């Protein structure tokens, strides 16, 4: 059994200890190490080997405890606030409202709208009734299937679509992709690359199909996040050796498409779209959000992305990889080091899309994954 397949025994033991505590917010790392009959040095070292820390485990546990409790039918907010370490209910409600934009009681009420089976069927219906992808996107995908996607054919397709042509030149003109191109051929051949342009066609196709049904800020911010995915991957590859094992084209597709499901789940016709919007604002941990949304809406973010892409007949290999990441995210299977890197990069894109400003949790995860240039990653996430 290699390291990536080993069970996270100490992590699970810490979670069990937190679960057993009446007041998990007050449990200290010293107390937990003593309960495990371990020295502080050994305790921290073994948690680090499992790519986590006591602070990360406790913070994630308390956040999940809070949201999980509010997603249930019956919740005692007074008791919950005490368990989370707040001296009084009013303090908890004020902190929750500052983070989520609504009170705990209002969040709980939104969670009760309809059941998850109805929500799932509505999401499927929305996906099935999406407009077909633009002609330019269909032509590019057809050429890829025929293994004939070269520069000249891509340029010919793009030049017939003025809107997409303008978008390609506009994106290629940004400093992140090099100096300003003089035409579409230069934008694709020198700045972006054929595969990136295909990904852009799909991203913009989804945007155009759904933008009138989704809150403008949500779709604009997440589109910007998806567009910087190649640059983010480039920065991570410079820092982590295992990232060099990832297939570049497939990884860029995963980073660009894995969170598209957020648009379906935020669709105004979705029964629980308001819950989704407030969750995007308040839940900073993407894996936690994915599990909570699956519980309340009957479909996860990654599954919603896979549904949309499959209906548009996007590569089956990509769908399979998305489904695997979904299982890792929901802790149904143990991921490899490469899976953890992918989920970390998706978390970075989620932070950018959601507009989260506190990067300490991401910074700690980067350190545990051996990413030593997080300052460069944060610069990407904070530059608009």
Domain end, chosen from 50, 84, 111, is at 111
Same domain, 240 and 150: yes
Same domain, 69 and 132: no
Q: Are 155 and 185 in contact (CB under 8 A)?
A: yes
- How confident is the model at residue 178, as a pLDDT? 58
pLDDT of 176 higher than 60: no
By CB atoms closer than 10 A (0-12, 13-18, 19+), residue 28 is exposed
Mean pLDDT calculated for residue range 263-271: 95
Same domain, 86 and 184: no
- How confident is the model at residue 2, as a pLDDT? 38
Average pLDDT, the chain: 90
**Chain length of the chain:** 384
Same domain, 206 and 322: yes
Same domain, 249 and 323: yes
pLDDT in tens, 5-35: 344 589 999 999 999 998 999 999 999 999 9
CATH number of the domain within which 72 lies = 1.10.10.60
- How confident is the model at residue 243, as a pLDDT? 84
Same domain, 98 and 149: no
- How confident is the model at residue 113, as a pLDDT? 82
Both tokens assigned to 174: 């940004």
Same domain, 145 and 85: no
Residues with Cβ within 8 Å of 212's Cβ and at least 6 positions away in sequence, in order, are none
pLDDT in tens, 110-167: 998 877 788 999 999 999 999 989 999 999 998 888 888 899 999 999 999 999 999 9
Domain range spanning residue 305? 116-382
Both tokens assigned to 210: 């759904």
Q: Cα-Cα-Cα-Cα dihedral of 187, 193, 198, 199, to 10°?
A: -100
Same domain, 91 and 131: no
Q: Which residue is listed with tokens 């050429």?
A: 143
Same domain, 374 and 267: yes
Per-residue pLDDT band for 384 (boundaries 50, 70, 90) equals low
Domain count, the chain: 2
pLDDT of 220 higher than 50: yes
pLDDT of 334 higher than 90: no
CATH number of the domain within which 312 lies = 1.10.3210.10
Domain end, chosen from 95, 111, 127, is at 111
pLDDT in tens, 51-106: 888 988 998 899 999 999 999 878 899 999 999 999 899 999 999 999 999 999 99
Same domain, 237 and 376: yes
Rounded CA-CA distance 39/294 in Å is 39
Same domain, 328 and 258: yes
Domain end, chosen from 58, 78, 111, is at 111
- How confident is the model at residue 6, as a pLDDT? 41
Q: Are 59 and 18 in contact (CB under 8 A)?
A: no
Same domain, 172 and 295: yes
Structure pTM?
0.90
- How confident is the model at residue 8, as a pLDDT? 59
């Amino acid at each position: 059994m290699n390291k990536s397949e080993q069970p996270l025994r100490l992590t699970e033991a810490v979670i069990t200890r937190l679960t057993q505590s009446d007041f998990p917010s007050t449990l200290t790392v010293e107390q937990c190490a003593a309960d495990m009959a371990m020295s502080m040095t050994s305790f921290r070292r073994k948690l680090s080997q499992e790519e986590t820390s006591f602070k990360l485990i406790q913070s994630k546990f308390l956040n999940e405890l809070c949201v999980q409790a509010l997603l249930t039918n019956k919740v005692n907010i007074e008791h919950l606030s005490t368990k989370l370490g707040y001296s009084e209910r009013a303090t908890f409600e004020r902190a929750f409202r500052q983070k989520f934009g609504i009170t705990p009681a209002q969040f709980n009420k939104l969670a009760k709208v309809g059941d998850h089976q109805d929500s799932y069927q509505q999401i499927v219906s929305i996906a099935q009734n999406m407009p077909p992808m633009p002609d330019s996107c269909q032509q590019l995908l057809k050429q890829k299937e025929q293994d004939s996607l070269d520069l000249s054919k891509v340029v010919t397709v793009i030049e017939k679509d003025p809107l997409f042509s303008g978008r390609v030149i506009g994106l290629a003109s940004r400093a992140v992709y090099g100096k300003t191109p003089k035409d579409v051929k230069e934008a694709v051949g020198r700045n972006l690359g054929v595969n990136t342009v295909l990904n852009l066609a799909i991203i913009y196709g989804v945007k155009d199909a759904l933008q009138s049904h989704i809150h403008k800020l949500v779709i604009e911010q997440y589109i910007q996040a998806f567009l910087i995915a190649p640059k983010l991957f480039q920065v991570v590859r410079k820092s982590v050796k295992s990232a060099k094992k990832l297939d570049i084209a497939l990884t860029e597709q995963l980073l660009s498409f894995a969170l598209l499901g957020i648009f379906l789940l935020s669709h105004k016709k979705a029964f629980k779209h308001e819950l989704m919007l407030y969750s995007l604002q308040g839940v900073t941990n993407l894996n936690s959000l994915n599990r909570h949304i699956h519980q309340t809406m009957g479909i996860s973010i990654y599954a919603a992305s896979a549904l949309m892409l499959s209906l548009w007949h996007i590569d089956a290999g990509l769908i399979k990889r998305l489904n695997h990441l979904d299982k890792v995210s929901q802790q149904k299977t143990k991921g490899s080091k490469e899976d953890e890197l992918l989920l970390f990069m998706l978390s970075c894109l989620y932070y950018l899309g959601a507009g989260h400003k506190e990067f300490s949790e991401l910074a700690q995860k980067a350190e545990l994954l051996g990413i030593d240039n997080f300052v460069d990653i944060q610069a990407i996430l904070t530059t608009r």
